[in-house]
Amino acid sequence: MSNHQLAFLLARITLGINFFLHGLIRIPKLEKFVSGIAEGFQESMLPQFLVEMFAYGIPFIEIILGFLLVFGIVSRKSLCASAVFIIILISGCALKEDWNAVATQMLYALFIFFLLKNLESEVWAIGKKEK
């Protein structure tokens, strides 16, 4: 295994574990999580029902994306889905002018784009390698 392959593998697993655990710890306190998100968006232009509906899905999206990334299951699609997820989160936080959250999410975006750019270095993945 080359250094590039090892770096890619560790970065992919790190991102996957991060997503997976974010979602996992939110499930037992889902109602509290959703109400906190909804409260944070009360002053935004987004309709509350839309915010709440998306907030209910966030932990499940994180768990699914995390699982796929940890095991390298259809990595290209998983990383693209992760990028779309982060784009949606950035859009929401920008609409409520939470620039600190946007900055943090931009780091996730860079991490995802780094992985996509280096996908040819993927090793130890389940399923078909994608190009």
Indicate the pTM of the whole model.
Answer: 0.91
Q: Is residue 124 part of a domain?
A: no
Residue 99 scores a pLDDT above 90: yes
- What's the total number of domains in the chain? 1
Q: Is residue 50 part of a domain?
A: yes
pLDDT tens digits, one per residue of 19-53: 999 999 999 999 999 999 999 999 999 999 999 99
Q: Which residues span the domain enclosing 93?
A: 3-119
pLDDT tens digits, one per residue of 50-70: 999 999 999 999 999 999 999
Q: Is residue 125 part of a domain?
A: no
Burial (CB count within 10 angstroms: exposed 0-12, middle 13-18, buried 19+), residue 45: exposed
